[in-house]
Structure 1
């Protein structure tokens, strides 16, 4: 081979070798920065430096109630490929969506973004409270593009809990029961329906009350403690469509109790769970009649066990971080979002 030809081949080899080294180094640098960016908010800029298309940037205007959690840590079932979450408000003008947690921004409009809004940026209204505890809804008029709440008709359905199907039929073991009924309540309002109902019920049934001004319930042992009860009173603080909270999903079902519910009508619960999984107070003419039924179940083990039949096919998944799960839903919703539109009145929709 001629020396010149051999020299050219050698030069090409070195050229492609160095090119490969540079590419590998660049990708490795991106990887290291991405590891760092999972706790910070630099990823969009990192990708831009190497000419990659910026991801869909989702800005959390606030952490709900100031409870911070790690971003971009979604479970695999929430495909967030192509999205990046941040809480850095300096990225507001680059954000494709801004998630506004209602209770953090509802006092005054000054709590909302004040910088001119970029064209086609979507504002997502996130709320997990019932209309009875959701003030100043009118402040959101003509501002919101997507809704996220426990309501099924939200653009982004973010329930307090749900059931999932087992891959195969299983034999569910009912936790050992040594006590009859429990109720945990933090907001003891003597004029509320649930407290008045209990005022009559206690004359006919022993119920252990936990919460402020009552028995102490250590949070780290809550499921284990509640699992020793046959019944748990999942009484909601207000009655609204689809408003079925952690009282039902976590305190009762996840802990292995039979829920006794006070909330929306039975038909509403049955949209989410089999009808033989719970007892509804509306099925009884009075608290005394309910008490008599629960006492009869306490004496009839076979009949009591029927409230666990559904568990051979379904289970209630534990949410280690409910806030994370809710926000993880935003990415897919943006990918599937309909044509850009603005909701004239959140209040009219949410209070219907």
Structure 2
């Protein structure tokens, strides 16, 4: 088969225009819904958000939403005794789905909102059918969630230079000469290995044509440290940002680790148009752009030998910074902000399963 060349000079200008418009639209959505250090404090009444259970049973100190994200009027608590007075309760799916934690008691206080929180893919989200007609708001990585907060997003450099957001935003530098001469070609970090995964099948095919350094539970040990993956990837030209399952908008930290490290992400997940909502179209290589895995391998090898072509995948970086939300404090504060803006809404999510699997 012949390689489809998505970044060549004959790439359809209309498609590129649509991709850029989609990317700019997502940036606009982020600036509206996500914490904004440049906004004046809102005028809505203050609210109390009760964290019903810490996700995965891992306790983390609750943040000061104003100090960290300039979200005013939010009181966070994990004290169940606050339930009768709480304006909203945020409930992480895993604990209630595994029946380790009960839902809050009914009847719920007047106008109290229950928020469904989940950052796993549908393939790893069991027993959704148990919770139809219970929640009022959804919060996840999906762009059509009631409360949307992705695993990461870009901030134009001029907006990231000042303000509290800079504490959690990492500037991206443009490519240097050394970025085209990195000593290693392709890396993959994987902990959840299953022969049934599409990404494992892709790996088996790709390693027939190029060498892939594998790290994690089934490969080499990762260096120690909270940012070890990013540091490791600074030695590589490409990183396999392969999701464990393929679902709408399911794009995780794998992509953003590669972006932060300056390694071009090779992605397997939702379609290209989904990634183009988060990144410029030339910022990543989608496996769907190639007829065969061998064509993908040839393209990677060609880029290594032709820095001028490789530059197209890196030149965009100097215009942006990356913001990676901190789990789970930023999620709680973002949810609290949404509750303040929707205090009069008492809608019920009736088709949770159908929506999340769509």
In the superposition, the TM-score normalised over structure 1's length comes to 0.80
Quick one: structure 1 residues 90 and 76, their matched pair in 2 at CA, closer, same or farther if it must change by over 3 Å?
A: closer
CA positional deviation for 1:304? 0.9
Quick one: structure 1 residues 201 and 156, their matched pair in 2 at CA, closer, same or farther if it must change by over 3 Å?
A: same
Q: Is the 8 A contact 1:226 1:257 kept in 2?
A: yes
Q: Quick check: 204-213 or 339-348, which moved more?
A: 339-348
Could you say which residue in structure 2 is the equivalent of 1:84?
75
Residue 165 in 1 paired to residue 156 in 2?
A: yes
Question: SS of 1:316's equivalent?
Answer: strand
Could you say which residue in structure 1 is the equivalent of 2:234?
227
Residue 239 in 1 paired to residue 214 in 2?
A: no
CA positional deviation for 1:55? 4.1
Distance in 2 (CA, whole Å) between partners of 1:212 and 1:244 is 21
CA positional deviation for 1:305? 1.7
Distance in 2 (CA, whole Å) between partners of 1:297 and 1:110 is 51
Q: Is the 8 A contact 1:231 1:258 kept in 2?
A: yes
CA positional deviation for 1:56? 1.1
Question: SS of 1:163's equivalent?
Answer: strand
> 1:5-38, CA deviations, whole angstroms, 9 ceiling, x for partnerless residues?
xxxxxxxxxxxxxxxxxxxxxxxxxxxxxxxxxx
Residue 261 in 1 paired to residue 267 in 2?
A: yes
Question: SS of 1:234's equivalent?
Answer: strand
Distance in 2 (CA, whole Å) between partners of 1:73 and 1:173 is 37
Q: Quick check: 105-114 or 232-241, which moved more?
A: 105-114
In the superposition, the TM-score normalised over structure 2's length comes to 0.79
Runs of 5+ unmatched residues, structure 2: 1-44, 162-171
> 1:161-193, CA deviations, whole angstroms, 9 ceiling, x for partnerless residues?
101101199962446421100001111101211
Q: Is the 8 A contact 1:79 1:332 kept in 2?
A: no
Quick one: structure 1 residues 152 and 121, their matched pair in 2 at CA, closer, same or farther if it must change by over 3 Å?
A: same
> 1:117-157, CA deviations, whole angstroms, 9 ceiling, x for partnerless residues?
11111000000011111001011111100100000011100
Q: Which has the larger radius of gyration?
A: 1
Runs of 5+ unmatched residues, structure 1: 1-53
> 1:44-83, CA deviations, whole angstroms, 9 ceiling, x for partnerless residues?
xxxxxxxxxx941100011111222221333657333211
Quick one: structure 1 residues 199 and 110, their matched pair in 2 at CA, closer, same or farther if it must change by over 3 Å?
A: closer
Quick one: structure 1 residues 226 and 75, their matched pair in 2 at CA, closer, same or farther if it must change by over 3 Å?
A: farther
Q: Is the 8 A contact 1:105 1:112 kept in 2?
A: yes
- Higher RCO (CA 8 Å, separation ≥ 6 residues): 2
Q: Is the 8 A contact 2:50 2:78 kept in 1?
A: yes
> 1:242-295, CA deviations, whole angstroms, 9 ceiling, x for partnerless residues?
11000111x211121100000011011111110000000000011111000000
> 1:299-351, CA deviations, whole angstroms, 9 ceiling, x for partnerless residues?
011211221111121121354x3311211101210121162111112111111
Q: What pairs up with 1:1-352 in 2 under 5 angstroms?
A: 55-74=46-65, 78-108=69-99, 111-167=102-158, 172-174=174-176, 176=179, 177-220=182-225, 221-249=228-256, 251-319=257-325, 321-337=326-342, 339-352=345-358
Q: Is the 8 A contact 1:140 1:345 kept in 2?
A: no
Distance in 2 (CA, whole Å) between partners of 1:301 and 1:228 is 16
Q: Quick check: 213-222 or 176-185, which moved more?
A: 213-222
Report the RMSD for the aligned CA atoms in angstroms: 2.0
